[in-house]
Amino acid sequence: MTAIELQTVDLCKSFNGREVLRRITLTVRAGELVAVVGASGSGKTVLLSLLTGLLPPSSGRVLAADHNVAAADGSGAEMVDLGTAGQEALDRIRLHWAIVFQRNALFSGTVRENLALWLREHTGLSAYEIERRSRAALHSVALDVDDVLGKPRDALSGGMAKRVAIARAVACDPLVMFYDEPTTGLDPMVGSAIHDLIWSTHNRPAGTGFELRDLEGDQRTAMAARAGTPRTSIIVTHDRDLLRRLRPRTIMLHDGRVCYDGPYEGFGQPDCPPAEAYLRQMPVLHGREPQ
């Protein structure tokens, strides 16, 4: 059976006494393409923040694969509880993740500087190799490399900025890609191109790529073992066309709980009224500009 990448057990999250997520239990295996959907306020972004360790759970657990450490039973990577892991362990796990934020989170500076920062800080790559990887990542998202590499962030259109954000993630060669509403507010043509990028990135297995700094001995051995590991993608979205084109495993949150978890083909059937109603609302929700 494919190794587990992320797992939640009876996960709950409350804010000021209001319960947003209620006993969420999910397992995401390596190589899965997963879309998390639900009406505004249903807890999608909260769940994403819990999965990435940016928020602590009120109760329950979030477990993540630490690809720097092999499991004792040889079943894959060691699973770590994000709620009890120290900052060093969290940082080590996140070296194998990349997040594409809804607002892209590009910092001021050029496209080149945005792509190079993580590679310069966390790998032993030379300046030449960092430049090569940055150019290859931009090429993979169908941007004119020579035209865009020196552009400042503020000179990018919305579609270009989204592609650069994905390219920055691709350059890190992550095992897990998280996307927070990657196509909200984009026109349909650009949105369709982003669907294609998500699909092609997901289906390109991760390689060893480079050695990460501060890894020693067994950790380096475990790192080398990830070559060829299937990439896992988790997408928070309101985009019905994305679901239709990519046909991911679809998880719908409603009233703080999972009301549907299964293949896209079964989503919105009459046996799940909240999903049926939500499908009708999706085009309106997706068309709203990010707040």
Residue 290 has pLDDT above 70, yes or no: no
Find the mean pLDDT for residues 156-179: 89
The CATH number covering residue 183 comes to 3.40.50.300
Q: Under a CB-based contact definition with an 8 Å cutoff, are residues 173 and 228 in contact?
A: no
Interval 69-99: pLDDT, tens: 777 776 678 899 998 988 888 988 988 899 8
Question: What are the E-state strand segments in 42-187?
Answer: 59-70, 77-81, 97-100, 176-180
pLDDT for position 184 = 80
The CA distance from 175 to 205, in Å, is 8
Q: What one-letter code names the amino acid at 59? A: S
CA distance 221 to 94: 18
pTM of the model: 0.86
Strands 232-236 and 18-29 turn out to be unpaired
CA distances from 188 to 62, 128, 162, 241 (A): 35, 37, 14, 9
**Residue 205 and residue 176: Cα distance in Å, rounded?**
11
Q: CA 291, CA 249: separation in Å to the nearest integer? A: 27
Q: Which residues pair with residue 27 across a beta bridge? A: 7
pLDDT band at 56 (very low <50, low <70, confident <90, very high): very high
The conformation of residue 106, written as its DSSP 8-state character, comes to P
Q: How many domains does the chain have?
A: 1
Q: What is the mean pLDDT of the chain?
A: 85
Q: What is the pLDDT of residues 217-264, one digit of tens each?
A: 554 555 555 556 789 999 999 888 999 999 999 999 998 999 999 999
Expressed as residue numbers, the domain containing 34 is 4-287
Sheet of strand 33-37: strand arrangement: 97-100, 176-180, 232-236, 33-37, 249-254, 257-263
Q: What is the mean pLDDT of residues 204-223?
A: 56
Helix (H, G, I), strand (E, B) or coil at 169: helix
